[in-house]
Chain A
Amino acid sequence: METEQKTVSRCSCTPSPQAPSCDCPADSPRAEIRTTTGTITSANRLDHLLARWGWNRGGHRVEPGLYRLGSPIAASPVFASANYTLSFDALRSALAGLDAWILVLDTKGINVWCAAGKGTFGTEELVRRILAADLASLVSHRTIIVPQLGAPGISSLDVARRSGFAVEYGPVRARDLPEYLETHTATPAMRRVEFPVADRIVLAPVELVMALPMFIAAVVLWFLAGPIAALAAVSTILSGTVLFPILLPFIPTKDFSTKGLILGAVVALPFAVAFGTNPALPLWADALSAVTTLLVMSAVVSYFALNFTGSTTFTSRTGVKKEIFTYVPVMAVMAVVGSLAGIALLAGRLFGVI
């Protein structure tokens, strides 16, 4: 066996896409096979919570490579996943009680869909992992079940040609796998991506954490213009990061920027009334205060709204680009005009002109 190995020069024990793999000796450098379970521990849950709150983004990783779930045999199915804990844990918990192989791709701690869009969950990495794990010698079949949302990065034809494994696209959601595996056919609902309220709310913490530096503006406003102005700033940030995702489908218009303008104006209204009815100020200054509040608050919420496109499951690049060119100039003008008017009003009051 060993002599045969040496004479067959085409044969490689460290498989690469170019060189075909072969039956290597037991001490070959075939990548280690790890073991996992279908159980989600409290440590896993804490990790998920931290990931949802944006703590150590990119650090929620599992080791890439092949895993045994239960006691898989040569006929057991093979599933591909990403090395993001939320992705991997969703898959293994959905498969709890089954014996299977899980091939984890190195997606740098990014979920399947985003990594596929980027290409890290892609043909190259999938083929490389199939060969590195020497999957062909471990399983008797030649099928790998890939999550449907991995498809933007995977060319099933290229994978088949280069690895000998046929790609079978499983359902969008891992939790549909038990039902899917009964027939290996996905229902139309299993193939559809929705964006229900639970999926939207779960994104709010990260949006909020990323906007944390903006709360400095609230503190500054407190000292310059008082507690109501600070409250207006906090309301603006919360509207853009938490309220907007929750209310998304209920706000009129299709464009995110206009949805944001509407939400921003509604949230700004009570503040505009509060600032615009100060009896100590002349009428024109009251009116200007109200307009300033409306302009700035709706522009900022609108900008948050536009940026939420990247977190949704349905906005196209063409559409988002169109939105940027249509609305960002409008937002900029509103914000600049509003801010200048606000600064003028503040200065006027500080120096006792009005």
Chain B
Amino acid sequence: MLNSYTETSLKYNPDRCINCMRCTQVCPHAVFAEGQGRVNLVRPSACMECGACALNCPVQAITVQSGVGCAWAMIAAALRGKDMDTECSCGGDDGSCCG
């Protein structure tokens, strides 16, 4: 209750990990940490689904439905009758919620 941020779409398959540590370098919230021969998923609920880890993983050990967690854009898309997942974009000239 009162916490909508416990689950995310981040999925990690440690069997594929080759321990290159790239995900630990790109993650801004220390979701992954160095482990024994492979990286560990240590703070899954801190994931903000930016997608940096999945995009930079050389062996596709990580998947995440990346997107910007911006209510303004999602509500605007919903009001225009567009799909909240595909139409949402941040940072355009026609109104942006990004700082």
Residue ranges of A at the interface with B (Cβ–Cβ < 8 Å) = 57-58, 108, 110-111, 113-118, 120, 148-149, 151-157, 169, 172, 186, 188, 191-193, 202-203, 206, 253-256, 258, 306-307, 309-324, 326, 328
Contact = CB atoms under 8 A, between A and B. Distances in A.
B18 interface: no
A319 B25 contact: no
B55 A151 contact: yes
Interface residues of B, number: 46
Given A309-B70, A316-B5, A318-B7, A152 B51 contact: yes
B56 A117 contact: no
Contacts of B78: 324
B49 A148 contact: no
A307 to B, nearest CB: 5
A324 B71 contact: yes
Given A193-B29, A253-B2, A311-B98, A316 B48 contact: yes
Given A110-B96, A186-B25, 13 more contacts: A114-B68, A118-B89, A148-B28, A169-B26, A192-B28, A254-B5, A309-B69, A310-B70, A310-B90, A313-B48, A317-B69, A317-B74, A324-B75
Contacts, number: 157
Interface of B: 2-5, 7-9, 22, 24-30, 46-52, 55-56, 58, 65-75, 78, 84, 89-91, 93, 96-99
A307 B69 contact: no
Given A191-B27, A254-B5, A324-B75, A316 B49 contact: yes
A328 to B, nearest CB: 7
A310 B25 contact: no
